[in-house]
Structure 1
Amino acid sequence: MDLSATGRYVRVLATARATAWGVSLWEFQVFGTAGTQAVPPGAVRVAEFLADCPYSHRLPDDPIVLPGLPGGSHMHSFFGNNATDAFSDLGRLETSGGTCNPVTDISSYWVPTLYADNVPVEPTGTTFYYLGEGVRDDVIANTQPLPRGLRIVAGNAKATGPDDNTISRWSCLHAGEVNPSHNFVNCPAGTMLESYLDFPQCWNGKDLDSADHKSHMAYPVGGACPATHPVPVPKLRQVLRYPVTGDPSRLRLASGPGYTMHGDFFNVWPAAEMERRVRDCINPIVKCGADGRP
């Protein structure tokens, strides 16, 4: 490989740090570099912070897609902010409490309710990961905080088949023999049904919402954000674990089959807390907990 002067300097610096820490250059490069900031030996090189937000309540409301229309939507299960309803806006949400750890996150998250034999089932594991993932390291280093009041919808509530919703997947906790699917899967006894949904992480830099609640956001292409949506923000990954196993034919979402899974997010993080987590966890590629610290 033909290294530039800058490249040779970086390699020499990396070699020196690796030697000082008693690890190989490969280990240092994989686990120990994030731009010019190094991660201590043993640390996991993942750009992440998270919020655990247990189930709050259930309503046939959707303040993003159907604002001001109580009962106008299919049934949704809400997490985080405990006051979310059809009339929720930023002002109403920021004066309410929530279920999240950390308590500083009073954002609202919601999904179509899951039914097993027509009985609603709520997840017992509800983790929302904020990630620097799917883009190059230099893009992660320039990731910006999610703007307060941002609204995002991910997934396809109107999907007519599994191929219409490729960003949502179902799997089984601790059951590696069951392949993930865009539709429900048959989880063996002793496991749990899991839902994973990734939200877009490229923002157009100006709109907190759009007419279809998606166009102001985009997914990265080729490790970077497209020119139409040039601002990288943390990727929200929604992970829900339901106490359900067995025959998936008895399962349905309020929106339809498993492949209609979708999620809504209304950002009400305090600006300073979001900024700190992006600065300390995402930009330097560091794995942080719910407190926003490594």
Structure 2
Amino acid sequence: MSLVVGIVILAMIVGGTVGLRLARTAHEPAPTPHAAQAPDYVPIEDVTPSRTPKPRKSYTARCGNNDEGHYNSDNFIVSPGIRNGAHHLHDYVGNTDSSAASTDQSLAAAGTTCQDRGDTSAYFWPVLRDRTDVAGQRRVPGEDPKDDNVGRVLRPDVTLRFEGNPHAPVVAPPTFLRILTGDAKAVTNGSANARASYTCVGFEDRVTTVAYPLCPLGRGLTRVLEFPSCWDGRNTDSANHRAHMAFPDTAGRCRTNTVPVPKLTMTLVYDVPTGPSFAIDTFPDQGHAPVTDHADFVNLRTEASTRHLLTCLNTNRAC
């Protein structure tokens, strides 16, 4: 057993990786911005294989890989109007207006990077950086170096996949429906809302939720961000940005008083430097922990685009 895996197992025994990080944060100095902490990384070969579910027919939204370089450290859902409100950089595809200044009106009037010009939805997530390549770092307006998000931003291959529900037809999500997945402050809040999983290309049956996998030669690091897909049928948002949405149960059923909407899963694939030398951007006090990974989505589609999406998913065919 490797030293890294031993550390991860010890963390789980005494209360989980997040608990270990909290204890370390309280009693030890913060890590240097260019060094990783051992419990945050595990060789993919040391992750126990699991049975992967058979994928359902799906609709893929082709919105590019942020070739336009649309980045900012804002979050117009959680901290509207506040520049650098996220204290970490976001990657964006889809809606071209997304920033602290975004409103429903500006989002509705904006363009899109999606091939389906009727899909002007906003899709965004924290960037992943090569934290050894400080020389390659390019700051964007609004970024604060004190946030300790250091290194060259790595660009992923992006797949945005929508799936139907196995028990009921999905309904049209309302315009401007806001959905979050994960918890950007999971180190502080605990892991109840942590949802991201990680694997490597060619090792998809080995999935970790508490550590970054170390992939052979650094190739094919894969982040998987699955969104809740049971809507309360009334609200496009809620005070905590979560209460109006829920995840289905393990069988895929939505609970009483909710209805299924198309389930979004973001899959982000990177080539990274070998070894524990990369991490996602986080709030300064979250230590770049993988359990803080998260993503955001705002639905904005024309009626025709929505009709095509629902037809694909409710007839269980690939589109």
TM over 0.5: yes
**Counterpart Cα distance in 1 of 2:214 and 2:55:** 33
**Residues 160 and 265 in structure 2, CA contact (< 8 A), matched pair in contact too:** yes
**Counterpart Cα distance in 1 of 2:79 and 2:220:** 32
Q: Deviations over 1:26-45 (max 9, x none)?
A: xxxxxxxxxxxxxxxxxx99
Identify the residue that residue 118 of structure 2 maps to in structure 1: 104
Q: Deviations over 1:56-99 (max 9, x none)?
A: 41111101000111222222121111221112122111211121
Q: Deviations over 1:213-239 (max 9, x none)?
A: 1110011124321113x2110100011
**Residues 195 and 209 in structure 2, CA contact (< 8 A), matched pair in contact too:** no
Question: SS of 1:77's equivalent?
Answer: strand
**Counterpart Cα distance in 2 of 1:100 and 1:267:** 13
When normalised by structure 2's length, the TM-score is: 0.69
**Residues 130 and 154 in structure 2, CA contact (< 8 A), matched pair in contact too:** no
Question: SS of 2:291's equivalent?
Answer: helix
Question: SS of 2:71's equivalent?
Answer: strand
When normalised by structure 1's length, the TM-score is: 0.74
Identify the residue that residue 282 of structure 1 maps to in structure 2: 313
**Counterpart Cα distance in 2 of 1:225 and 1:94:** 29
The alpha carbon displacement at 1:269 in A equals: 1.4
**Residues 116 and 252 in structure 1, CA contact (< 8 A), matched pair in contact too:** no
Number of aligned positions between the proteins: 238
**Counterpart Cα distance in 2 of 1:211 and 1:88:** 18
Question: SS of 1:160's equivalent?
Answer: helix
The alpha carbon displacement at 1:251 in A equals: 2.4
The alpha carbon displacement at 1:159 in A equals: 1.1
Question: SS of 1:269's equivalent?
Answer: coil
**Residues 80 and 106 in structure 1, CA contact (< 8 A), matched pair in contact too:** yes
Identify the residue that residue 98 of structure 2 maps to in structure 1: 84
The alpha carbon displacement at 1:164 in A equals: 4.3
Identify the residue that residue 172 of structure 2 maps to in structure 1: 145
**Residues 164 and 316 in structure 2, CA contact (< 8 A), matched pair in contact too:** yes
**Counterpart Cα distance in 2 of 1:208 and 1:259:** 26
Question: SS of 2:187's equivalent?
Answer: coil
Q: Which stretches in structure 2 are left out of the alignment for 5+ residues?
A: 1-53, 132-149
> Which structure: larger Rg?
1
**Counterpart Cα distance in 1 of 2:172 and 2:211:** 32
Identify the residue that residue 192 of structure 1 maps to in structure 2: 220
**Counterpart Cα distance in 1 of 2:203 and 2:274:** 13
Provide closer, same or farther for how the CA distance between residues 103 and 245 of structure 1 changes in structure 2, counting only shifts above 3 A: farther
Mapping for residues 76-225 of structure 1, pairs under 5 Å: 76-117=90-131, 118-133=150-165, 135-136=166-167, 139=168, 142-160=169-187, 163-176=191-204, 179-189=207-217, 191-221=219-249, 222-225=251-254
Instruction: Identify which of 69, 73, 77 aligns with 1:60.
Output: 73
Provide closer, same or farther for how the CA distance between residues 45 and 178 of structure 1 changes in structure 2, counting only shifts above 3 A: closer
CA RMSD of aligned residues (A): 2.3
**Residues 195 and 241 in structure 1, CA contact (< 8 A), matched pair in contact too:** yes
Question: SS of 1:276's equivalent?
Answer: helix
Identity among equivalent positions (%) equals 32
Say yes or no: does 1:51 pair with 2:61.
Answer: yes
**Residues 45 and 286 in structure 1, CA contact (< 8 A), matched pair in contact too:** no
**Residues 177 and 237 in structure 2, CA contact (< 8 A), matched pair in contact too:** yes
**Counterpart Cα distance in 1 of 2:210 and 2:278:** 16
**Residues 188 and 245 in structure 1, CA contact (< 8 A), matched pair in contact too:** no
Q: Identify the range of structure 1 (254-263 vs 164-173) with the bigger mean alpha-carbon deviation.
A: 164-173
